[in-house]
Amino acid sequence: MHRRRVRRSTPEGAHRPVMLDEILAALAPQPGEIVVDCTLGFAGHSAELLQRIGPTGRLFAFDLDASNLSPAQEQLSAIAPSFTLTHGNFAGFPATLAAEGIEGCDCLLADLGMSSMQVDESERGFSFMRDGPLDMRMDPSRGRTAAELLKTMPAEDLASAFRDLGDEPDAERIAEAIVRCRETQPLERTRELTELILKEAPVKVNPNPLPGEPTVRQQEIRPTARVFQALRILVNRELANLQELLRVLPWCLKPGGRVAILSFHSGEDRLVKAAFREGVRSGVYQSASEEPMRPDYSEKMDNPRSRSAKMRWAIRRA
């Protein structure tokens, strides 16, 4: 697929969507089309998509976090009235389209990354950089918190999650330490979990990394970041939701419809890669990206949270 880069300046303090130019090139939204944004967040991607499909098109956007809907409503209303926001899981988007009498969409985007706002709010419990309750639920109104999972999950299940969802090499040691700790004082706050990880998985730091290699600080926090990532994925059943999306996706895209999925974890990317390859092999997809697209150097420098991003696209057979 041809990539056309259109870098635009971003106002000071604005949250530029990750890999925006690459996503717009892959989806190529046109006036009058039906577009689904599975992960609304700050509505950065949604705003750009709505701008391109205009008032004759229709945007459907989903978010598990109800607090994102009101700001997005105001932002998108200034562009066009042709959008619908839904508080709920994106895997259920086919039912929303069907309720509107719409059989399929022309474009679909799923940005599987965390919202910066969620990470920055200490009371949400997503960040190990800020002390707060171990919650980590995308939808604070339902489901078990990370603290509740850490109180009850067997050591082997915790280790499996840290290893498979976080790629943490010291998964067993950290899991066993959590189980020992909860016998006397269950973990309730992010600071407590961070301190436990740092104690159980000390990092041998390279004090003189080469250009392009992780900095000393990045090396030090890697085990903590991996465990927190695994817990977040576990709490929110993110892989199960992605699997359901990939299952229903081909039948919800119109012929010639385009999909772009932005992932931030190797497990997510493997699922997307396998689904798209199988779709091409079976003839459901006309084509799909052979290799994931990555953010360029300038974007990684401007937005460090984009560094692990991978974007894959596919086109439904016409």
How does 245-284 read in b/e, with b if 16+ C-beta sit within 10 Å?
bbeebbebbbeebbbbbbbbbebbbebbbebbeebbeeeb
- Identify whether the C-beta of residue 181 lies closer than 8 Å to the C-beta of residue 196: yes
Q: 145, 95, 121: which is closest to 252 by C-alpha?
A: 95
Instruction: Enumerate residues 6+ apart whose C-beta is below 8 A from 15.
Output: 42, 44, 116
- Identify whether the C-beta of residue 299 lies closer than 8 Å to the C-beta of residue 275: no
| Mean pLDDT value of segment 48-64 | 96
Instruction: Enumerate residues 6+ apart whose C-beta is below 8 A from 265.
Output: 112, 165, 229, 233, 308
pLDDT of residue 10: 36
| Mean pLDDT value of segment 268-294 | 96
Neighbours of 298 (CB within 10 A): 9
Give the strand pairing for 83-87 and 58-63: parallel
pLDDT of residue 277: 97
pLDDT in tens, 156-175: 999 999 999 888 999 999 99
Q: 237, 219, 233, 298: which is closest to 264 by C-alpha?
A: 233
pLDDT of residue 12: 33
3-state secondary structure of 284: coil
Note the CATH architecture for domain 20-116+239-316: 3-Layer(aba) Sandwich (3.40)
pLDDT band at 89 (very low <50, low <70, confident <90, very high): confident
pLDDT in tens, 210-244: 776 666 666 556 889 899 999 999 999 999 999 99
pLDDT in tens, 240-252: 999 999 999 999 9
pLDDT band at 125 (very low <50, low <70, confident <90, very high): confident
CATH 3.40.50.150 region(s) of the chain?
Answer: 20-116+239-316
- Identify whether the C-beta of residue 112 lies closer than 8 Å to the C-beta of residue 263: yes
Mean pLDDT highest for which of 7-21, 46-60, 63-77, 132-146?
A: 46-60
CATH number of 140-235: 1.10.150.170
pLDDT of residue 295: 93
Res 2 pLDDT > 90 = no
Give percent helix, percent strand, percent coil of the chain, each to the nearest 5.
Answer: 45, 15, 40
Q: Which residue has the higher pLDDT, 217 or 67?
A: 67
pLDDT band at 90 (very low <50, low <70, confident <90, very high): confident
